[in-house]
Amino acid sequence: MKKKVSVSGLALTLVLLSACTDSEETASAEDAGNAVDGIETYIQDFQTEAEQLLNVEEDLQLDFEEDLANDSEGALLEGTGQVASNLSDREDILQSLDSIHSQINQELNTIGQAIEHVDAEELPNDIEEFSVGLSDYGAELSQFIDEYRHNLSAQSEYFETLSSEEADFADITDGIENVNDTHRAMNANWYELEDALINMQEILANFEMPTPEEEGE
């Protein structure tokens, strides 16, 4: 018990030290420029992963039909078939999207620190508007991830009911409808995500950080 208290005390000390260190950290104009480049890369990464997510999602009905065709092997019943792999693959991609979104936020935080601490003459006049615009659309990326994870969880729960030995033909027919319904339900979210990514790319295209040579002129 004493060991547990000691570890907790150490953890608290580390948190306090970390908080003190973070409060003293500032970002330079160069850090802000690197953050802008990072955001551009991460948005491209996000788009690539999102396209992969959509491709896997569109395979779900075929995977479901394949599991039904191989039902004698117990793929659907045991949850070891193509549907299970599809659900697992999409959860992995969602985790990747989560990570990329967090990295975008970290870069935006760096830009925010630069706005707060760097001489305004060293930064573009529109950098605050740039940061706010990206933050607003970044929130839409987060909303997409949350909505998609909710729908994916609903699909997972439904297919778990189909793996029950009590599942009958009606349940399987409903399963096909469920696949179609959840796909249609996400259509609006996909369009909103596409708009958000396009707008973020336009904001980046219309923004320019001065080079070190330009700053020195």
What is the mean pLDDT of the segment spanning 182-196? 88
pLDDT at 94: 97
- CATH class held by domain 40-209: mainly alpha
Cα distance from N-terminal residue to C-terminal residue, the chain = 64
Q: Phi and psi dihedrals of 206, rounded to 5?
A: -95, 5
| For range 112-139, the mean pLDDT | 94
Considering 14-23, 142-151, 161-170, 175-184, the range whose residues carry the highest mean pLDDT is 142-151
Decide: residue 168, CB within 10 A, 0-12 exposed, 13-18 middle, 19+ buried.
exposed
**Residue 33 vs residue 174, higher pLDDT:** 33
Instruction: Name which residue leads in pLDDT, 165 or 117.
Output: 117
> Is residue 162 scored above 90 in pLDDT?
no
Instruction: Give one DSSP letter per residue of 31-67, joined into a string.
Output: HHHHHHHHHHHHHHHHHHHHHHHHHHHHTHHHHHHHH
Q: Read off the pLDDT of each residue in 39-66 and give the average, rounded to a whole number.
A: 93
Domain extent listing, the chain: 40-209
pLDDT number for residue 209 = 82
Contacts of 216 (CB under 8 A, 6+ apart): none
The H or E element containing residue 178 is: helix 169-185
Share above pLDDT 70 across residues of the chain, in percent, rounded to a whole number: 73
